[in-house]
């Protein structure tokens, strides 16, 4: 496995692979890799591409009171993991390599970034789309893989790629869960064992809500209330949002009569978890 | 010369040239070409690259009360011109090809876009950087050529390319002027012969101001006043701005003790002209 923190070295390596006719697949991550990331990597490898994994904790997407400083990092463990699963190139740039001077340029996807996680994390998605633009321009992949746990992020990146004519195919990969249903997240490491136990209500109530819809429940409000009641009664979780939205454009849904996503964000102590489920009716 | 309005056809043509080892040079324009554009094309050809000229009047960069509808267009004349000077590929996409659905994504270069032309044309530079991003992603050039008549635009594009790690070299080409000094512009066609005569005060006063600086004048305010007086006394032009700014970052200048640009925008009737001069001290 190649490993570099240098943009120019990475570009040289990729140019060589392209010359050999290889397609390039990028899996952008913030590191502290878990089975969810490894699934993304596996999907990337299945395409036969030269697989690049980037690890960069991007300060631009953290608010001033968010957990940039405490976000978990373990680059040597990560490097070992990605080497084991057969990644071709690990790119782990420094802050200075990615942001050598103050950034004046931002890439922003309007509308989609104002709801759900965007409503309470102003600037978050702008930070994501800006760094992903940079990574796309640095790596110039043919394919890029994103986890659907960050469903809104996945839609926003797709829209950015389409609006800006980036010659990249964005592939979403379904959420990977623990045996007991908890969606994998680098932030799970911060949960106390009690919080971790309580957090199971998220995936459980999403699953039950999807069943309710399949059995005929058509009111978005009732679904949201059902989940809210479950979380409130069965945990100490502090709800940020629980919303039923159109699965393609995140527009508001009253009557559930199309493909929707139920998305939620709930804080357990200082740790904010997100989860979602897509339901076809 | 190839000519296409299709993004996918353009991509195919460019991929073939890249396979042959050609570098790609892009000259993005809004058409109604004049000698200024032809100079850009000539510079592009001198690099030995496969030269792509795009012609697209981009609605995103015109304000609601600006001249999008009346902006001069003559694509057949332009096509003839670029064929004559040996352009390899003319790309003239339709509105539908460039904006098939409502745009949610914008690329914005902050700070630099708030001053000079940006102050009175809110959203203008955001429109420019967004469409140039699209053109860059469509054409994927190695080199891109911009005229320095739009000095602020040139700096903004350079900054965007640097901030977003676009693998493109941006080259600025000095202003091309008529014999009598008038900076070439597609909008000059709108000037009455009287306005055209009066508009000569712009280049003349810029030139005289540069001479004053070379002879020791160090006060930005005095330079601005000198030009203001000239324009006010010798024309009916309505001044939008006259400003001395740092030539690299457009920051304000009080004492002229570095490389500066004197930039101005003046309306003659409904036609807004811009001009500038860079002065090294």
A148 marked ligand binding residue: yes
CA A240 and chain centroid, separation: 18
Classify domain B2-173 at the CATH class level: alpha beta
A-B C-beta contacts closer than 8 Å: 74
- Asked if the C-beta of B109 comes within 8 angstroms of chain A's C-beta atoms, the answer is yes
Question: Considering only CB atoms, which chain B residues are within 8 Å of A105?
Answer: 107-110, 129, 159-160, 163-164
A15 and chain B in contact, CB less than 8 A: no
Tell whether A134 is within 8 A of chain B (Cβ): yes
Q: Is B37 a catalytic residue?
A: yes
**B8 contact partners, CB below 8 Å, separation of at least 6:** none
- Chain A interface test: which of B9, B98, B104 (most A C-beta within 10 Å): B104
Query: Cα A173 to the chain's mean position, in Å?
Result: 10
Q: Do B138 and A109 touch (CB under 8 A)?
A: no
At A11 the pLDDT is 98
Q: What is the structure's pLDDT at B60? A: 96
pLDDT of residue B81: 98
Q: Tell me the nearest-neighbour CA distance from B247 into chain A, angstroms.
A: 17
Report the gap between the CA of B167 and the closest CA in chain A (Å).
Answer: 7
pLDDT tens digits, one per residue of A157-204: 999 999 999 999 999 999 999 999 999 999 999 999 999 999 999 999
pLDDT digits (tens, 9 = 90+) for B256-270: 999 999 999 999 999
Please report the pLDDT score of residue A102 as a whole number: 94
Query: What's the pLDDT score for residue B184?
Result: 97
Give A57-76 pLDDT, tens digit per residue.
Answer: 999 999 998 999 999 999 99
Candidates A2, A37, A101, A124; catalytic one: A37
CATH class of A186-279: alpha beta
A178 SS3 class: coil
Question: How far away is chain B from the Cα of A63, in angstroms, using its nearest Cα?
Answer: 19
Q: Which of A134, A160, A167 sits opposite B165 (nearest CB)?
A: A134
What ipTM describes this predicted complex? Answer: 0.96
pLDDT at B197: 98
* Distances, alpha carbon B226 to alpha carbons A34, B186, B232, B233, in Å: 66, 28, 10, 11
- CA-based angle A229:A233:A239, to the nearest 5? 65
Task: Tell me the pLDDT tens digit for each residue of A216-275.
Answer: 999 999 999 999 999 999 999 999 999 999 999 999 999 999 999 999 999 999 999 999
Domain extents for chain B? 2-173, 186-279
How far apart CA B278 and CA B245 sit, in angstroms, is 10
Q: Is A245 exposed, middle or buried (0-12, 13-18, 19+ CB in 10 A)?
A: buried
The pLDDT of residue A160 is: 98
Can you tell me the mean pLDDT for B172-179?
A: 98
Contacts of B134 in chain A (CB under 8 A): 163-165
Q: Which of A104, A137, A160 sits opposite B105 (nearest CB)?
A: A160
CB proximity list for A260: less than 8 A, separation 6 or greater: A213, A220, A244, A245, A246, A247, A253, A278, A279, A281
Tell me how close the Cα of A254 comes to any Cα of chain B, in angstroms: 23
What is the per-residue pLDDT across B129-166, written as a single tens digit (0 to 9) for each? 999 999 999 999 999 999 999 999 999 999 999 999 99
Residue A33 assigned as binding residue: yes
What integer is the mean pLDDT of A131-142?
98
User: For A3-35, how does the pLDDT look when each residue is reduced to its tens digit (9 = 90+)?
Assistant: 999 999 999 999 999 999 999 999 999 999 999
Question: Judging by beta carbons within 10 Å of its beta carbon (0-12, 13-18, 19+), is residue B99 exposed, middle or buried?
Answer: middle
Q: What is the pLDDT of residue B90?
A: 98
A54 beta partners: A28, A91
- Taking the C-alpha atoms of residue A136 and residue A151, their distance in angstroms, rounded to an integer, is 19
Of A105, A112, A137, the CB nearest to B104: A112
pLDDT of residue A173: 98
pLDDT in tens, B194-237: 999 999 999 999 999 999 999 999 999 999 999 999 999 999 99
Task: Locate the chain B residue with the closest alpha carbon to A7.
Answer: B165
pLDDT digits (tens, 9 = 90+) for B104-118: 999 999 999 999 999
Nearest-CB residue to A110 (from B106, B109, B137): B106
For residue B66, what pLDDT is reported? 92
In tens, the pLDDT along B46-76 reads 999 999 999 999 999 999 989 999 999 999 9
| Pairwise CA distance, residues A15 & A139, whole Å | 9
State residue A208's pLDDT score.
98
Q: What is the pLDDT of residue B258?
A: 96
Q: Which member of A11, A108, A164 has the closest CB to residue B108?
A: A108
Q: Which residues in A lie closer than 8 A to residue B138 (C-beta atoms)?
A: 165
CA distance A267 to B274: 54
Q: Looking at the complex, does the CB of residue A108 fall below 8 Å from at least one CB of chain B?
A: yes
Q: B134 and A160: CB-CB below 8 Å?
A: no
If you measure CA to CA, which chain A residue comes closest to B109?
A105
């Amino acid at each position: 496995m190649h490993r570099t923190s240098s943009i120019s070295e990475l570009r040289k390596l990729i140019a060589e692979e392209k010359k050999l006719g290889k397609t390039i697949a990028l899996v952008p991550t913030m590191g502290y890799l878990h089975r969810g990331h490894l699934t993304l990597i596996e999907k990337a490898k299945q395409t036969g591409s030269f697989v690049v994994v980037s690890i960069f904790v991007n300060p631009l997407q953290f608010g001033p009171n968010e957990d940039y400083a405490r976000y978990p990092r373990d680059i040597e463990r990560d490097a070992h993991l990605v080497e084991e699963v057969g990644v071709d190139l690990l790119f782990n740039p420094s802050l200075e390599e990615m942001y050598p001077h103050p950034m004046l340029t931002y890439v922003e996807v309007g509308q989609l970034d104002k709801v759900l996680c965007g409503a309470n994390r102003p600037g978050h998605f702008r930070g994501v789309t800006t760094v992903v633009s940079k990574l796309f321009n640095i790596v110039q992949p043919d394919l890029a893989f994103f986890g659907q746990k960050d469903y809104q992020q996945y839609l926003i990146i797709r829209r950015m790629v389409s609006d800006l004519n980036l010659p990249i195919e964005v592939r979403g990969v379904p959420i990977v869960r623990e045996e007991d249903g908890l969606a994998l997240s680098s932030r799970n490491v911060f949960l106390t064992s009690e919080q971790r136990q309580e957090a199971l209500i998220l995936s459980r109530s999403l699953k039950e809500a999807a069943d309710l819809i399949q059995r005929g429940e058509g009111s978005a409000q009732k679904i949201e209330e059902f989940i809210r009641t479950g979380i409130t009664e069965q945990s100490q979780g502090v709800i940020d949002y629980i919303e039923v939205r159109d699965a393609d454009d995140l527009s508001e849904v009253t009557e559930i009569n199309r493909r929707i996503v139920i998305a939620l964000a709930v804080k357990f102590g200082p740790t904010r978890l997100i989860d979602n489920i897509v339901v076809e009716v």
